[in-house]
Amino acid sequence: MVVDLDDALAQAFAESTRRYQERGFQRRVGFGKKPALINVDLANAWTRPGNPFTCEGMDERIIPGVQRLLEACRANGHLVVFITTYYRNTRRDDPHTDMGLWHCKMPVEILDEADEALWAIDSRIAPSAGEKLFVKKGTSGFHRTGLAEYLRAAGVDTTLVTGVTATACVRTTACDSMHEGFRTIAVRECIGDRVPGAVAWNLFDLDAKYADVEAVDTCVDYLNSLKG
């Protein structure tokens, strides 16, 4: 099934690329001079097995890729940001909950602030001293978090986005990053999801409209070429 899906997606992408390029899509935004690494929801609820939000490809692809990016950022003094999600009031029957209506669609009530073991960043890529952790309530890492202001104050012009999921939190964070005026790079091997085909489709679409999708090797070389 996966092989058939990959073949079908490859055919769809080839035709879509032809149409997009005829119409002026798939332009390149490129790398800037002051990057920041934005890691979206790489917390235990998404990276470790057995949770409703668990995503595929963590151990063999995403975590190792992010480790390489972190090493390059820390060696060269580049800004690193982590984003996670939790709620202070997870009572679904309480109109004052900070979950909004998202709990009507997804089991976000498990992301209770009191259960740090779930929303804490995976220990394999844990923040170092001075690295900022933002908490979001919805999909985008920019929505009502102060992330954009934080990046601007640091002089950042480029964001490298990793994390989960391609269909939701990574996608909306990347879109908002572009709209906030940052050159946005989605790191191909460091983005995941729970649904077959979801990563490939969303990376293709992001690359056509909102971000440059680049390989982790390319991003590491870029980070190593600059000093923060």
Over its length of 228 residues, how does the chain's per-residue pLDDT go in tens digits?
Answer: 556 888 888 888 888 888 889 999 989 999 999 999 999 999 999 999 999 999 999 999 999 999 999 999 999 999 999 999 999 999 999 999 999 999 999 999 999 999 999 999 999 999 999 999 999 999 999 999 999 999 999 999 999 999 999 999 999 999 999 999 999 999 999 999 999 899 999 999 999 999 999 999 999 999 999 998
- Contact call for residues 118 and 110 (beta carbons, < 8 A): yes
Active site residue 169: yes
Q: Which of 73, 169, 175, 190 is catalytic?
A: 169
Q: What is the rounded CA–CA span in Å between residue 207 and residue 68? A: 22
- Contact call for residues 70 and 80 (beta carbons, < 8 A): yes
Taken in order of first residue, the domains within the chain and their CATH numbers are 2-224 (3.40.50.850)
pTM over 0.85, yes/no:
yes
What pairing do the DSSP bridges indicate for beta strands 79-85 and 35-40?
A: parallel
Q: Which contacts of 112-115 are long-range, i.e. CB under 8 A and separated by 24 or more positions?
A: 112/86, 112/87, 113/86, 113/87, 113/88, 115/86
